[in-house]
Chain A
Amino acid sequence: MAEHDRSAALDSAAGPVRSLLSVRGLEVHFPIKQGLVFDRTVGHVRAVDGVDLEIPQGQTYGLVGESGCGKSTLGRAVLRLEEPTAGEVIFDGEDIAKLKAEPLRKMRRRMQMVFQDPLASLNPRQSVQSLLIEPLRVHGLAVADRAQFGADSSASHLAKVVSMLELVGLPRAALAKYPHEFSGGQRQRIGIARAMILNPDLVIADEPVSALDVSVQAQVINLLERLQDLLGLTYIVIAHDLAVVRHISDTIGVMYLGRLVEEAPSDALYERPLHPYTIALMSAIPIPDPVVEDRRERILLKGDLPSPANPPSGCRFHTRCPFRQPTRCDTDEPALRELTQVAPGRRVACHYAEEILSGEVRVRDADLLIEPVR
């Protein structure tokens, strides 16, 4: 009950839009075990290491970052598919991280997931009909329907399944088919239908289009957007493709080594990225237009992502940062702070965000800067 009050208080502070999900100080650490007889824990992989975010109802939050930055783990921890090590995940007033098994199972009806690889996430031995009816069965929606339709609840299930198929753009004939009989885009539609059939509030889509052909990606992106308008869904879209994420998200969070380094409305983020990592990430994304490509100034990042088991001291990005300064960067860990003065509504975890914005701090090594070529 106390939690209800707290979230209500938070809502009134945040404005008229109700926040559906708020994540506070979330950490997911995986132990590294070693030893033949006794599994000694020799360290932890800090996949998610202190993330705070708010997602208002009906909005889309995009999470971007490179592989290994913890974006998928964060998505899974929100649904408690991974057990959080610390922190709170408050979904509609209840802390999911503390729910017991049965209340959690009930809560999961309202939170669904769309996975990256539809062939791997759909049971090859289940027909589409069986795949789509299963969630209804698991969540005992048959009981509610029985009151309405009498004993014949399977008929109402079937009606639901058929209307869902229609919604995602698959023919009724698909019911008796098996996943291998479909193309990649159609399979992803089945995965989406399975997530949507429970009429959830929150849908987490983990790389929903990256396994699809380029010409098919747009179909699935448009479908996700249409379903959001139709069903009033809240999305978390996790992807490494910033162009896709920018297209569908209202707000984007950029992750690096288990932490959010920048969060901004998606237009503002593209207009003016503030964190050095975001700046480099944006400049690395190829744009399908030679004229733009040739005029762009680009920043190359040196080296690979450091190990999340042993993140660098101070700012986690300082080992690769093209704007690194001699002081503070390798000793103090920057907090994710709102730049109230220069860029309200945006949060950045960089000591020198203002200086980078004003141009006082520049790229320190000319080798890292690639001038426009032609």
Chain B
Amino acid sequence: MTETRTDATLTRTGRRGSRGPVNRDEVLLEIKDLRVTFQRRGGPATAAVDGVSFSVKPGEIVGVVGESGSGKSVTSMAVMGLLPQRGSKVTGEVLYRGENLLTMGQRQLADLRGSELAMVFQDPMSSLNPVIPVGLQVTEVLRRHQDISREDARVEAEDLLRRCGIPDPRRRLSEYPHQLSGGMRQRALIAIALACKPALLICDEPTTALDVTIQAQVLELLKELVNDLGTAMVMITHDLGVVAGLCDSVNVMYAGRIVEAAGRRELFAHPRHRYTEGLLNSIPRLDAPRGEPLQPIPGTPRDTIAWSKACAFAPRCLHADDECVVGDLPLVQLGRVNHPVRCVHPAPEEEPHG
């Protein structure tokens, strides 16, 4: 047996010398005014992401919350450079350690992806290759980014699967994705993402396809990772419960723009944007008294107006009036520190929600 990389805890030692010790104050990823538009030939351009900015520090978990169509997944795909070249246009800046990922060459980006930037996708069945054994899919990443022999990669892959909570990892290495349960597939996917100990991990709804008890296991695993490694994490989800337990700060997206951003305690205690407030009032809570009807947000996430004409949430908002018909509402600080809101009639500050 070779003795390489059998350290019990994940540490950053033994990496290529490019990265120093983790500095938790440096900004690792900074997204500035990111815009993604999709256009079919001859058709109108649709802005899926419309000027999104936020930053992530090492050891920090930043949540991006929104419903389907809010642009949260497109944001993550754009950051990783995974959007199709044709038909989509990405502008703005995505600075990773000061380098713009959007203008970086394909080869350079391919070196970063998988080693320093990693992503966990929502549906493990469609993001794992069904005709290749799980083990090979893990070792592929290791062999691509590290100078490591096939035998060593196999040992390391086994170790990774074990640390991600997959029992009997040696047997699992030679199995195919369909032979694994949903929770195990998701853990295999996380193992692949963690293979090279990335500095930034983007999780796109990593637990949506899982049962709650398995979800709790996976979230606990991710939390440990951030604590032990100082990995920076972007958590994309529609589940406010996951955000409440996991994220340090939260960005709420609606129709391609961030409508509210705050620390998690601040956001849940004092939601200011009417959409955030509506969301919190509309979900049934396990610990709330029963018997009262929920207060739904009327309409559907599709009922939007272009941001250039008015507030996109106005058609569904109970507080909307003529003043809301203003093009390009700014994201402004309202009273509290570090709590920008994009709303004409924000919820009053003293009013507790619920």
Contact = CB atoms under 8 A, between A and B. Distances in A.
Contacts, number: 142
B268 interface: yes
A290 interface: yes
Chain B interface mostly: helix
B220 interface: yes
B67 A222 contact: no
Given A67-B182, A289-B268, A214 B213 contact: no
Contacts of B240: 214, 288
A280 B213 CA distance: 7
A215 B296 contact: yes
A215 B67 contact: yes
A143 to B, nearest CB: 39
B244 interface: yes
Contact of A213 (B243, B280, B294, B301): B301
A218 interface: yes
- Interface size bracket, A side: 35 or more
A361 interface: no
Nearest to B354: A289
Interface string B294-329: 111110111000000000000010000000000000
Contacts of A293: 241, 244-245
Interface stretch (B48-56, B80-88, B284-292, B330-338): B284-292
B129 interface: no
Given A281-B212, A300-B220, A288 B183 contact: no
A292 interface: yes
B286 A183 contact: no
A30 interface: no
Chain A interface mostly: helix
A290 B286 contact: no
B184 interface: yes
A216 B244 contact: no
Contacts of B265: 290-291
Contact of B296 (A183, A184, A218, A267): A218
Given A66-B212, A288-B243, A215 B183 contact: no
A45 interface: no
Contacts of B148: none
A323 interface: no
Nearest to B296: A218
Contacts of A217: 282-283, 296
B71 to A, nearest CB: 14
A246 B288 CA distance: 10
Contact of A300 (B211, B217, B238, B287): B217
Interface of B: 67-68, 167, 181-184, 211-217, 219-220, 238-245, 264-265, 268-269, 278-280, 282-287, 290, 293-298, 300-302, 316
Given A66-B214, A218-B296, A243-B286, 4 more contacts: A284-B216, A286-B219, A290-B244, A290-B245
13 contacts: A183-B302, A215-B300, A216-B301, A218-B283, A218-B296, A222-B293, A244-B284, A282-B286, A290-B264, A290-B265, A291-B268, A301-B217, A304-B184
Interface of A: 66-67, 183-186, 213-219, 221-222, 225, 240, 242-244, 246-247, 266-267, 270, 280-294, 298, 300-305, 370
